[in-house]
Amino acid sequence: MENMVNVYLFGKKYSVPDNLTIMEAMEYAGYKLVRGVGCRNGFCGACATVYRVKGDRELKAALACSTKVENDMYVATLPFFPLIKEGYDIEKVRPDEQVMMQLYPEIYACVGCNACTKSCSQGLNVMQYIAYAQRGEYAKCAELSFDCVMCGICSSRCPAGISHPQVAMLARRLNGKYLAPESKHLTQRVKEIGEGAFDAELAAMMARPVGELKELYDHRDIEA
């Protein structure tokens, strides 16, 4: 007999096996997940979830696909958070302090509460990379935010209304476009692909069975 725990999904009590993730528990309880679910491996950020365990005052944030259930866990999913996404042409903006002031001025209203860092499902130092963005240190901001999955949990807890994932995305684009050294072999390969140098190989690859493609992928050569 499996060890069972009580979880409360959207206010309703269910008894589920204690080895399930929150997402698996929802499916076990009969929910059909058509929103707020993606890769199921902690990479896409689609399953942002908030929960509280009975007797604990702290409201916690996590990804439902990679967080195990606990007894007396009260769960509410956050499948979408309305981040502010400003439009810009990466060919026209430049990596200076003014670009953040123009597009995301709310970052300068940060009160230093660190709620963003504490809630990050990936364990990133969110407040620090926002500080780098404030100072125009986009290479540092890009590096520190590299593992962001854009789930929006940090922004949902921010009293200043900062859209941290979008700020980080802009910083990474500025870094890639203007600051990071050019990867010449990549530039050359993109040029070759554009000229059709690999059309025959790509066509042959696409004609292979899916099982064979998976086998090739699993045993591919990886640079050290």
Question: pTM for the whole thing?
Answer: 0.73
Same domain for 134 and 197: no
Mean pLDDT (the chain) is: 91
Same domain for 102 and 62: no
Say what the pLDDT of residue 53 is.
94
pLDDT tens digits, 72-127: 999 988 766 778 899 999 999 999 989 999 999 999 999 999 999 998 988 999 99
CA distance 5 to 108: 44
In a domain, 128, yes or no: yes
Q: How confident is the model at residue 222 (pLDDT cuts 50, 70, 90)?
A: confident
The helix, strand and coil proportions of the chain, stated in percent and rounded to the nearest 5, come to 40, 15, 50
CA distance 60 to 51: 5
Same domain for 198 and 155: no
Within a 10 A sphere around the Cβ of 182, how many other Cβ atoms? 7
In a domain, 50, yes or no: yes
pLDDT-above-90 percentage for the chain: 70
In a domain, 92, yes or no: no
Please classify residue 195 by burial: count the beta carbons closer than 10 Å to its beta carbon, then call 0-12 exposed, 13-18 middle and 19+ buried.
exposed
Same domain for 195 and 173: no
In a domain, 54, yes or no: yes
Same domain for 201 and 170: no
CA distance 222 to 224: 6
Same domain for 108 and 69: no
The more confidently predicted of residues 78 and 184 is 184
Least confident span in 28-42, 103-117, 162-176: 28-42
pLDDT tens digits, 98-113: 999 999 999 999 999 9
Say what the pLDDT of residue 48 is.
87
Half-sphere exposure of 165 (CA within 13 A, CB side): 21
Please classify residue 46 by burial: count the beta carbons closer than 10 Å to its beta carbon, then call 0-12 exposed, 13-18 middle and 19+ buried.
buried
In a domain, 83, yes or no: no
- Residue 171 confidence (pLDDT) above 60: yes
Same domain for 126 and 148: yes
Report how many domains make up the chain.
3
Give the largest CA-CA distance in the chain.
63
Same domain for 173 and 101: yes
Average pLDDT over residues 34-42: 82
- Residue 70 confidence (pLDDT) above 90: yes
In a domain, 185, yes or no: no
Nearest to 7 by CA among 64, 58, 45: 64
Least confident span in 74-78, 126-130, 159-163, 175-179: 74-78
Question: Side chain identity at 181, as an amino acid letter?
Answer: P
Same domain for 168 and 103: yes
Average pLDDT over residues 209-217: 91
Question: Side chain identity at 143, as an amino acid letter?
Answer: E
Same domain for 68 and 116: no
Say what the pLDDT of residue 57 is.
86
Say what the pLDDT of residue 121 is.
85
CA distance 146 to 169: 9
User: What tokens appear for 169 in the block?
Assistant: 């995305």
Tell me the residue range of the domain where 205 lies. 191-218
In a domain, 113, yes or no: yes
The CA-based dihedral angle spanning residues 187, 192, 194, 197, taken in that order and rounded to the nearest 10 degrees: -160
Start-to-end CA distance of the chain, whole Å, equals 46
Same domain for 109 and 175: yes
User: What tokens appear for 157 in the block?
Assistant: 């807890």
In a domain, 89, yes or no: no
User: What tokens appear for 183 in the block?
Assistant: 């990867």
Same domain for 197 and 171: no
User: What tokens appear for 83 in the block?
Assistant: 């981040």
